[in-house]
């Protein structure tokens, strides 16, 4: 059986995660006898959006959208991290909740994402990191760059108020994070790859 302890050491940056799905009897397609099945949960990290499979402590029942501590030291609800998941390994329930959870995380921590608009730079001679956001083209990029030169954006409302032609930044960031979670992107802005 594969050991997962090195994963926890290598990716110790995630301190907390949001529950996407809780499977009290393990995966339904697990062919092992029921006494060998263990509860598990699929979660997404709040900082780097890592998709993880975790084992809860005994007698702990997790709820979707519940925040759990997964960092170093004593964890009250999570026993250990089983490993990293790909987007296609998520259960239908976890996949359905993912976009709402990501949007909620971005809304509750707007400073980090507004900072991206204030400091984003070019990736290559022809491509700017702002253009990686879905719906953002050269015209939107130049508008953001010109407005942020006047003064940095304070929040999403300020960004939308001063750069009037841009798509909704909250939706664009959420969609970009979902694209990065797909694992097919050349550049990663928000998700640890």
pLDDT in tens, 11-60: 447 899 999 999 998 888 877 777 777 899 999 999 999 999 999 998 89
- In the chain, list all ranges with CATH 1.10.150.280: 109-181
**Residue 46 pLDDT:** 93
Q: What are the C-alpha distances in Å from 63 to residues 41, 55, 77, 107?
A: 10, 14, 11, 21
Q: Looking at domain 109-181, what is its CATH homologous superfamily?
A: AF1531-like domain (1.10.150.280)
pLDDT in tens, 46-102: 999 999 999 999 889 999 999 999 988 888 999 999 999 999 999 999 999 999 999
Helix, strand or coil, per DSSP, at residue 192 = coil
pLDDT in tens, 110-163: 999 999 999 999 999 999 999 999 999 999 999 999 999 999 999 999 999 999
**Residue 13 pLDDT:** 72
**Residue 159 pLDDT:** 93
- In the chain, list all ranges with CATH 2.40.50.140: 5-87
- Given a contact cutoff of 8 angstroms between Cβ atoms, the answer to whether 21 and 94 are in contact is yes
| pLDDT interval class at 192 (50, 70, 90) | confident
CA pair distance 143, 190, nearest whole angstrom: 22
**Residue 132 pLDDT:** 94
**Residue 2 pLDDT:** 34
Q: Looking at domain 5-87, what is its CATH homologous superfamily?
A: Nucleic acid-binding proteins (2.40.50.140)
**Residue 27 pLDDT:** 84
10 pLDDT above the threshold of 50: no
Residues of the chain with pLDDT > 90: what percent?
72
pTM: 0.86
Q: What is the CA radius of gyration of the chain?
A: 19
């Amino acid at each position: 059986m594969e050991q997962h302890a090195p994963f926890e050491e290598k990716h110790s940056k995630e301190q907390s995660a949001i529950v996407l799905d809780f499977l009290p009897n393990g995966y339904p397609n697990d062919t092992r006898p029921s006494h060998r099945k263990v509860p598990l949960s699929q979660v997404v990290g709040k900082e780097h959006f890592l998709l993880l499979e975790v084992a809860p402590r005994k007698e702990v029942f997790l709820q979707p959208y519940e925040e759990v501590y997964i960092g170093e030291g004593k964890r009250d609800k999570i026993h250990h991290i089983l490993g990293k998941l790909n987007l296609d390994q998520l259960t239908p329930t976890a996949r359905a909740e993912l976009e709402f959870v990501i949007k909620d995380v971005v809304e509750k921590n707007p400073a980090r994402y507004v900072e991206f608009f204030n400091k984003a730079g070019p990736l290559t001679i022809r491509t700017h990191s702002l253009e990686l956001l879905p719906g953002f083209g050269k015209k939107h990029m130049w508008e953001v760059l010109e407005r942020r030169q006047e003064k940095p954006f304070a929040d999403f409302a300020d960004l939308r108020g001063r750069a009037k032609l841009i798509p909704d930044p909250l939706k664009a960031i959420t969609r970009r994070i979902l694209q990065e979670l797909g694992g097919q992107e050349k550049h990663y802005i928000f998700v640890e790859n």
